[in-house]
A and B are shown apart, each in its own frame.
Chain A
Amino acid sequence: MDLLDRYLQAVKKHLPWQRQDDILAELRANLESQLEDEEASLGRPLTSAEAEDWLKQFGHPIQVAARYQPQQYLIGPALFPFYWYVMKVAIFWVTVIYVIVAAVQVATQTPVGTNVLAFVLRLPGGLMNMAAWVTLIFGIIEFAAARYPGKFPTLAPPSADWSPSALPPLGQQFAGGKKSRSFAHAVTEVIFGFLFLIWWLLVPNHPYLLVGPGVFYWHTSPFQFAPVWVQIYWWVVAVNVVQVAWCSAELMRGSWPRPRTAQNIVVSASGLIPITLLLSVPGHAFVLLKHPALDQARYGTTLDSMNKSLYMGAELIFAIVVLRLAWEIGRLGLEAYRKRAAARR
């Protein structure tokens, strides 16, 4: 029957090539036997409409062939939780980095509206690019683990090889209902803190890492950063070195599950120093002209508006940091008060 041959040919195209002849011969024998039975019960050959209906009930050729394939995953269930966690962390950090870059561009380039719009349009592309890389890396890990099972550690723990006493301690209930941080979270903080530090240290010699192609416009522009930015740069380095060291020490001491109220207060307070430095710059001159005598008349107004915007931004950040600091101190005070009240009872 022509239709049956066409059907089997369509199935064959989607079968694994090593076994396709064997599978097809078996499928043909089964279908031909069934067809014989159908025709014997009718006492005549099937009409082409009946044959079409008869073949349709077996399913689409792609579906039929797919049943002969081993189950395949791009990222399997054992790996998926790790993949999803890394993806969420990466989405967060890519967004943070984009926002920092955009903030610098908006602060140093005009027109502001165009830069904000460019950032908004660029962000989805950046996130998709990152997601593609993360997926590719995990896809390769999954493929390699499936292809060479003995050479890769199993991702799911073997069920017979565990002990309840080896499980992590019960998630402590900390004051204020704060959840304890997971180990993965703590490790990720150290890794990303370290990567941020490397990136930040590379920026002075490779400014395109911060502003991308905008560095070309900056070099050819009549503007330059005021010396106060150098102090702020090193202050950011120092704060991050302390933070990475602190997180690493927590990991080594095993104290990572505890909430970091004290650390948050120190970080917020240290964040106030560079902003205070900025706010105290005489005349709010954050950006200067490279050749004031030549360019003042032409770029003076632009310079003033840039410095004004930067000053407003610094004031806003100062207010946010002060609020955060007040919140952390208030919470620490409340915890101490509750502890004292509980001890008196």
Chain B
Amino acid sequence: MTPSESHFENLRLELRRGCLTLAVLAALRQEYYGYTLRKALADRGLEIEESTLYPLLRRLEAQGLLTSEWREEDKRNKRFYRLSIDGERIFAQLLAEWQAINASIRATIDNIL
């Protein structure tokens, strides 16, 4: 990887990190377990590695943004996640923030182009 590619990769990861959290919170207004959540996000064009998504779910739960429960489905025990009450509030705030940033960036780009 050239230095330029490496800089791009670092910046891309930095940009994705916050967006992934927002996307996960958005998706978890509905209940999912890890694998189906990953599939749902991929179906909407957002691929997330398993090794990124599953620990992220744990972290968000530890921060009180998600609730989880073990339940049997298709003869297999699975851990289902969904937004907590705190998570819903914070998701709304983050979404407003993201939309404002998005609008500003869009306006800046339109202004330049």
User: Are A30's CB and B34's CB within 8 A?
Assistant: yes
Interface residues of B, CB < 8 Å — how many? 16
Interface size class of A (residues with CB under 8 A): 10 to 19
User: Would A58 and B50 count as touching, CB distance under 8 A?
Assistant: yes
Q: Which residues of B contact A (CB under 8 A)?
A: 33-36, 38, 49-52, 54-55, 58, 76-79
Q: Check if A153 is an interface residue, CB within 8 A of chain B.
A: no
A134 to B95, CA, bound (A): 45
Residue in B38, B77, B79 with the greatest tally of chain A CB atoms within 10 Å? B79
**What DSSP secondary structure best describes chain A's contact surface?**
helix
In whole Å, how far is B15's beta carbon from the nearest beta carbon of chain A?
19
Instruction: Select the stretch in A62-70, A190-198, A216-224, A271-279 that faces chain B.
Output: A62-70
Nearest Cβ distance between residue A34 and chain B, in whole angstroms? Answer: 5
B46 to chain A, nearest CB (A): 17
A23 at the interface (CB under 8 A from B): yes
Q: Which among B35, B51, B58, B76 is the interface contact of A64 at CB below 8 angstroms? A: B51
Contact of B51 among A26, A34, A63 (CB under 8 A): A63
Which residues of A34-65 have CB atoms within 8 Å of chain B's CB atoms? 34, 58-59, 63-64
Which of B38, B49, B51, B77 sits near A29, CB closer than 8 Å? B77
A58-B50, A59-B49 known; A68-B58 Cβ under 8 A: yes
Task: Judge whether A30 and B76 touch: CB under 8 Å.
Answer: no
A11 to chain B: closest CB distance in Å?
10
B52 touches A67 (CB 8 A): yes
CA distance A34 to B50 in the complex (A): 10
Which B residues lie within 8 Å of A58 (CB)?
49-51
